[in-house]
Amino acid sequence: MLKYFLPAEHVKTVYDIKPTHLKDKGIKAIITDLDNTLVEWDRPLATPELMIWLQSMKDAGIDVTIVSNNNMKRVQAFCEPLGIPFIHEARKPMRRAFRRALNNMNVKPEEAVVIGDQLMTDVLGGNRQGLHTILVVPVAQTDGFFTKFNRMMERRILNWLRKKGMLHWEEK
């Protein structure tokens, strides 16, 4: 069961994820979280740096879909100006939204990665679906109400994984 909480990779930010690295792994699609993964949870629009990163993925032929547990208003307002497909109220770590994103992008699980900042939603959900998972350090040091509980649980899981010698990286 613990293996489901273990990401395949850990990076400081999404900007550490390069299209060439993904293409070398045969990756054609990214399923990414929004809040505290791409931008702070309370930032309404993409930063210029994020727009460049997203364009680099597009230029490399890598599709991106945002899968968020947040509401339609929040996710749509962020994604529509960028022309990025999205799934809101995803209920991660449930599998349905991940399967839907794979189907929408017409890729197999081995051709996609999940990028997110939470073990309890992004990593667990992606791993349960058999996807390559990449955990990023949260963009902001603050969280919404429900995420605070998840962070507390994540710290306990990470400590246990560390004690068991299962972590091959350390928090940055």
Helix (H, G, I), strand (E, B) or coil at 76: helix
| Residue 35 DSSP symbol | B
Distance, in Å, from the CA atom of 83 to the CA atom of 104, rounded to the nearest integer, reads 15
Q: Which of 3.20.20.140, 3.40.50.1000, 2.40.50.660, 3.40.50.1470 is the CATH number of 2-163? A: 3.40.50.1000
Per the CB < 8 A criterion, the answer to whether 35 and 118 are in contact is no
Tens-digit pLDDT profile for the chain (172 aa)?
A: 678 989 999 999 999 999 999 999 999 999 999 999 999 988 999 999 999 999 999 999 999 999 999 999 999 999 999 999 999 999 999 999 999 999 999 999 999 999 999 998 999 999 999 999 999 999 987 666 666 767 677 777 777 777 777 766 554 4
Please tell me whether the peptide bond between 109 and the residue prior to it is cis, using omega within 30 degrees of 0: no
Phi/psi for 88 (5° steps) reads -105, 165
Per the CB < 8 A criterion, the answer to whether 30 and 154 are in contact is no
Distance, in Å, from the CA atom of 76 to the CA atom of 126, rounded to the nearest integer, reads 22
- Both tokens of 138, joined, read 């949260």
Distance, in Å, from the CA atom of 7 to the CA atom of 78, rounded to the nearest integer, reads 26
- Both tokens of 146, joined, read 């429900």
pTM equals: 0.87
Domain boundaries, the chain: 2-163
